[in-house]
Amino acid sequence: MSGKSDRPRLELRRFGSELLRDQRLNKGTAFSIRERQALGLHGLLPPVVSTPEMQENRILQNFTRQPTDLDRYIQLMDVQDRNEKLFYRVLCNNLDQMMPIVYTPTVGLACEKYGLIFRRPRGLFITIQDKGHIADMLASWPERNVKAIVVTDGERILGLGDLGSFGMGIPVGKLALYTAIAGVPPSQCLPIVLDVGTNNQSLLKDDFYIGLKKPRDRSDNYDEFIDEFMQAVVSTYGQDCLIQFEDFGNHNAFRFLEKYRNKYCTFNDDIQGTASVAVAGIMASLRITQTELKDNKFVFQGAGEASLGIASLLVMAMVEQGVSLEEARSKMWLVDSRGLVCKDRASGGINHEKAAFAHQHEHIKNLADVINKIKPTAIIGAAAVAGAFTEDIIKSMASFNKRPIIFALSNPTSKAECTAEQAYKLTNGKCVFASGSPFPSYTLQDGSMLHPGQGNNSYIFPGVALSVILFKIHHVSDKIFLVAAKALADLVTKDNLKEGRVYPPLKDVREVSVKIAVRVAEHAYATKAASLYPEPEDKETFVRSNMYSYEYESFEPQFYDWPSNL
Ligand code: NAD
């Protein structure tokens, strides 16, 4: 007799302990006593029942106790592994404090140390040796309803260069923001590293390196591998699955964007997302400088993914305002490692993307000389050359502009072209400043405070992705990123501008994402790019009602009367 009743109890017990190890379902000490009894958890947890608020508080106390940001990153990743809803509660409620940890700048450091801090694998690692089997590997992923993939091959992680498989920290961090900022359910998000080797010599010698220990494959094999990956995603998750390219090397990033943009649901955040956030910041800056976009001249330090993306989107914005393509391009001046990008440059290095911005102009090698010659209204740094905006350059900008625009976008903080303090101090508080990584506020002599804008891509990509996923937008055009930029710029209030901010406060980024998602959807329906029908009438309500909630679900058994005599 006892054998009969033992078995279900044993099953229940096994289920209970498994539940505590399932990060999607685990609530830790927040399981109620009834849930503990019903699910075979009773006794596996200490008797206290915590509220989610108490759990959040415990995480925050531990967070502040950690000695370094890297330790904070490790702590948060442990929470994500243990209790996903709690992780998102903490992240969402403390975004301005946590974002610099799960994302830039700390995520850069975490990537550099990924081998050392590696605990539980997160995401899919697909190597070039797996060519021919990618669909099988995608099938190993436990979730079937994947709607968004962030993928990197680790060649250009932030401004840190080739980190190979250690680059996994980036897709993991970006997708955490998909959920925290845009409410895309974590089960729909899949981080992927495509490991094709690394040319980082120190990683090749590192005992803790977790990737393929061989040089990067630069052969046709690499292109075939990426092609197979794209097809495997579609065959596994459908044509609608969004694929965000992240931190690919410059050459491949532009090539793949062109190759895939009209065939797949894809975008490149380093090119298009960056462009959108920077253009939004410029649009808001114009309300401070009291100028029109077409009256501005831009010098870019760097002619890579970020600079070319920004320059192209600024041109699109100008053209939309009635400026000719040629005139708009004539206002963009790019400087790369060989100096001014100009026609017939003896030192060469003008690829297809730069050629559109190559001026008929004498070659100038040095950035300061370019600035003194061109006299731009705005300088934008995106070359990962720390300190490139020297004292002389910043002072020059203030000498020929009433309100110079200075964007030091290079990440992480150590690579910034200048600090907010340097920019404000050297221009006597006249400049409009934004950066890629966060900088503290600056107090002017009269006691007023300036808050530097952080041109963080997370203002844009989560909202765009949310819209693409919910409204089934098959292709993500550049126009969508211009729409998103305008939506973001419109959310900057007069009070924000008074404080020097060219972006809304980062803590409001969830609201920003909702508004961007709605504006993108309106544009997508107007241009017949959305394929969700019937078209939701109240798009904002539709968006909000589809966003992930970090509130725990109740697992308490629900009983209702059922007649026993059939
Ligand atoms: P990239 O590798 O595509 O381009 C780098 C460019 O810098 C290249 O054109 C290169 O020629 C140029 N360069 C290198 N050394 C130079 C020198 N001494 N002088 C002038 N130019 C030089 O990289 P990317 O994607 O354009 O990113 C560049 C930087 O911008 C990184 O630090 C990245 O983190 C940052 N970024 C910031 C944001 C943001 O703030 N939202 C977004 C994207 C990228």
Query: pLDDT per residue over 268-323, tens digit each?
Result: 999 999 999 999 999 999 999 999 999 999 999 999 999 999 999 999 999 999 99
Q: What are phi and psi of 30, to 5 degrees?
A: -85, -5
Q: What are phi and psi of 392, to 5 degrees?
A: -60, -45
Residue 58 neighbours by CB distance under 10 Å: 15
The minimum-distance atom of ligand 1 relative to the CA of 415 is 32
119: confidence class by pLDDT, cuts 50, 70, 90: confident
User: What is the distance, to the nearest Å, from the Cα of residue 133 to the centroid of all Cα atoms in its chain?
Assistant: 29
How far is the C-alpha of 246 from the C-alpha of 250, rounded, in Å? 11
For the chain, the average pLDDT equals 94
Res. 7: pLDDT tops 60: no
Q: Is-contact 464 520, C-beta < 8 A?
A: yes
CA of 185 from ligand 1 middle (Å) equals 32
- Residue 449 tokens read as 């405070």
Residue 446 pLDDT:
87
Residues in contact with ligand 1 (CB, 6 Å cut-off): 156, 158-159, 250, 270, 274, 277, 301-307, 335-337, 382-385, 409-411, 415, 436, 455-457
Q: Which residues are catalytic?
A: 103, 174
- Residue to substitute in 104, 156, 267, 307 for testing ligand 1 pocket (most ligand atoms within 8 angstroms of CB): 307
- Residue to substitute in 269, 274, 313 for testing ligand 1 pocket (most ligand atoms within 8 angstroms of CB): 274
CA of 158 from ligand 1 middle (Å) equals 9
The minimum-distance atom of ligand 1 relative to the CA of 303 is 9
Q: Is-contact 196 167, C-beta < 8 A?
A: no
Residue 2 pLDDT:
42
Could you tell me how many residues make up the chain? Answer: 566
pTM for this model (two decimals): 0.94
Q: What are phi and psi of 297, to 5 degrees?
A: -125, 135
445: confidence class by pLDDT, cuts 50, 70, 90: confident
CA of 249 from ligand 1 middle (Å) equals 11
